[in-house]
Structure formats: structure tokens, C-alpha cells
Structure 1
Amino acid sequence: MENKLVFATNNAHKLEEVQAKVGNIFKIVSLAEINCNEDIAETGLTLQENASIKSQYINKNYNLNCFADDTGLEIKALNNEPGVFSARYSGSRDFKHNMDLVLLKMRDITDRAARFRTVVSLIIDDKEILFEGIVNGKIRETPSGNDGFGYDPIFEPDGYDITFAEMSLEDKNRISHRGLAMEKLIGFLKGI
């Protein structure tokens, strides 16, 4: 097997996180690098469905081994919202608008328990394997930190007194939902 995998994303932050996690074991290739300019619609109602839609699209249309992920912030007091709609919770893909909407909805709520969950769909030789990573934490009342992306400035993982946005990329990758899912993916790939 060639040590190259397509990651079905154009999100530079995700590519950076995953390549840092994978190191030199695999070369992670973006959609742009395979000249895939289509906007793959995430029409699934679950994280698993969305991850599968993206990986199956690349495998079917480009005949390449690939993986895709979908991640959701699940807030207990909001019935696990924004969940599968995390990237467009406010009606746009603007991270700040999405975060502001969460903070508005959480304004008078004391139970701030939340979790980030990532599902990865890997397709190798036309077979799909799923991996999941979860990190529990809570929603801060105000954003803190300048690193990361998405909801990182308001998510404080259990066991820490800082947000994901205040952590180094290395520290975040060690404990994050995506990092945990990628560890499972990497473990699987090493065993092939």
C-alpha cells in the first residue's frame, strides 16, 4: 500500500492537525491536491453518515483510498446541539457566529457539560471502516485563547483549566476527539 491517503477536506486546520498526528508514516493529501473542487454536500443526519458520504464520494469518483471525518460539539443541556450541524449552527460556516449562538443559548444554563465527538470513515480497497473519538468537557461562559478553530475558545476539556484554543497543537492533538479517532485510524493502518 502506498503511504498516501486522501483526507476528504479542504479545512487547512484539520489537515495540519492530522498531518502532525500522523507524522511521517503517511502523506496526507487534500482534496485540492487531487483536483477535487466539488463541494461534497453533508446531507447526513448523523456524524457517521456525513463522514461516509465524503469518503464514499472520493472513493467512487477518484478511485483512491481515502478517509473523511465529521465532528460535532454535543452540549447536554441543548439536547446534544449543535451536533451534526456544528459547522453551520448559526446558518453560516462562520466560526464566530456559531460560537456566539451557543453562548447565547447557554447564557442562563448552569449545567455546561459538553463533548466533542469525531467519526472517521476510512475506505481502503473499497472497504469502509469507522473510528470514533470523544473528549468530554464543558462550555466556558466566555471565549479564551487564540489557537485552534471552531468552538475551541469555549470548550474546556475535563481535567484542564484551559480551553482547546489555549493549548499548543501538540497538547490538543494528544487529547482531542479528532486526535483520539486518528490514533485508532493510525493503529489500524499500521496493522495492514
Structure 2
Amino acid sequence: MKKILIATKNKGKLNDIKEIFKDLNIEIISFLDFENSPDVEETGKTFEENAKLKARACYDKYGIPAIGDDSGLVVEQLNGEPGIYSARYAGESADDSLNNEKLIKAIQKFPEPHRAKFVCVASYYDGKTFITAYGEVKGRVITEPRGKNGFGYDPLFIPNGYDKTFGELSHEEKNKISHRSMAFRKLHKKLEGHL
């Protein structure tokens, strides 16, 4: 059975990806299966470049086809910030609450609605070919966090057509519409003919 390495140590993300790929005849492994997984520096200028950097670094280290992904929040009024810096918006060692605080401060000087989108790019690399897929969810950002589910900017983001934040939606509800599940479902379709 063919193996694919997912460039993550995040168990939640890994389980979501396994669920999406369950009907492909592959074994999904991750950084959790290795002791010294590479710490890939996200030096790309786009989500796609960062996803490809991760996939290539994994393939180069282990010789196993790999999938890297990168995602973040893109806010219109902030010219696309925090964008590729979403995880480290308030600094390299910042946590979710510091990132959220910085975002709230930044958007408060603008009138509502604060239009935004969550973006995810997932990229597969097998040593020869990159196969890449893109997912996005449009919505708006609010200035009062709501909900304890999810992580990152989830308590501040309300997807279009909903009155709840990602932080208030159940894991299952969020997974149906999330940028990450969208990108990985599209990648799944593209991989069907390739594997």
C-alpha cells in the first residue's frame, strides 16, 4: 500500500485529512510517526509557496510522497493581512490570543463589515510532480471573540450565510465548509487519477 506523509504534528488536522482520504488505497502517516521531523521554515511569499516548501522538504528527507499545506486569514481592509503570517501575526512566539488581540486592534479603526476569507493551499509532491489544490471560505471578522471551538482566529470569523463564528460551530459543521477541508477534498479528487 502506498504511503503519503502529511507534514503535520497536529492530531486534529491529521484525523480530518485521514477522513477525507479514507477511500483512497493509501496509508497516511505524519510527523508523529518520526522522531526528528524537519522544521520547515515558511519563507515563501504565498500560501502555495509555503505548502510546496513543506511537501518538498518532507519528500527530500524521507523519500515518501508528501503533502504540505499552509493556511491563514486574509482581511480586505488590512490589505490581505495577516495572510501568510497568520500564525505569527503578533510575533514569532505569539499565541492565538495575542494574534487575535492584534487583529482586533488593527480592524477597529475601519467601518464594519470587516470582510475576510480563510484560505488553505494543500500541495502533494512525489519527487517529480506537484499537485496543488486551493480552498477558501469568505466571511467577516468581528471584534468580540465568540465560541471555544477550533483555534486561531476561529472565534472572530463568521462565514457568509452563518450567524455563528467558526469558534461556535461544531467540529462537524465547520469541517463541512472549512477552507482546509475544501482544499483537501479538491486534492483528493486530483490524486484519484494520479495514484
The TM-score, its normalising length taken from structure 1, stands at: 0.92
Q: How many residues align?
A: 191
Instruction: Tell me, yes or no, if the aligned pair for 1:95 and 1:150 is still in contact at 8 Å.
Output: yes
Distance 2:66 2:33 in 1: 13
Deviation at 1:24, TM superposition (A): 5.4
Instruction: Name the counterpart of 1:42.
Output: 42
Instruction: Tell me, yes or no, if the aligned pair for 1:77 and 1:111 is still in contact at 8 Å.
Output: no
Please give the per-residue CA displacement for 1:6-45, whole angstroms capped at 9, x wherever unaligned.
Answer: 1111223322332333345444321121334331111111
Distance 2:28 2:180 in 1: 15
Q: Which runs of 5+ in 2 are unaligned?
A: none
1:81 aligns with 2:85: no
Distance 1:153 1:23 in 2: 29
Instruction: Name the counterpart of 1:16.
Output: 15
Instruction: Tell me, yes or no, if the aligned pair for 1:114 and 1:136 is still in contact at 8 Å.
Output: yes
Change (3 A) 1:99 1:28: farther
SS in 2 for 1:165: coil
Which range moves more in the overlay, 24-33 or 92-101? 24-33
Instruction: Name the counterpart of 1:67.
Output: 67
Distance 1:102 1:153 in 2: 12
1:101 aligns with 2:108: no
Match of 2:152 among 131, 150, 153: 150
SS in 2 for 1:6: strand
Instruction: Name the counterpart of 1:180.
Output: 182
Q: Which runs of 5+ in 1 are unaligned?
A: none
SS in 1 for 2:60: helix
Instruction: Tell me, yes or no, if the aligned pair for 1:123 and 1:129 is still in contact at 8 Å.
Output: yes
Give the letter for the 2:90 counterpart. Answer: S
Please give the per-residue CA displacement for 1:23-78, whole angstroms capped at 9, x wherever unaligned.
Answer: 45444321121334331111111111111111000111110011010002000000
Instruction: Name the counterpart of 1:128.
Output: 130
Which range moves more in the overlay, 61-70 or 107-116? 107-116
Deviation at 1:123, TM superposition (A): 1.0
Deviation at 1:93, TM superposition (A): 4.1
SS in 2 for 1:19: helix
Identity over aligned pairs, percent? 38
Deviation at 1:173, TM superposition (A): 1.3
The TM-score, its normalising length taken from structure 2, stands at: 0.91
SS in 1 for 2:113: coil
Please give the per-residue CA displacement for 1:136-155, whole angstroms capped at 9, x wherever unaligned.
Answer: 00001211111111111111
Q: What's the Cα RMSD here? A: 1.6
Instruction: Tell me, yes or no, if the aligned pair for 1:21 and 1:173 is still in contact at 8 Å.
Output: no
Instruction: Tell me, yes or no, if the aligned pair for 1:13 and 1:148 is still in contact at 8 Å.
Output: no
Distance 1:23 1:165 in 2: 26
Change (3 A) 1:99 1:20: farther
Which range moves more in the overlay, 16-25 or 136-145? 16-25
Distance 1:28 1:138 in 2: 34
SS in 1 for 2:167: helix
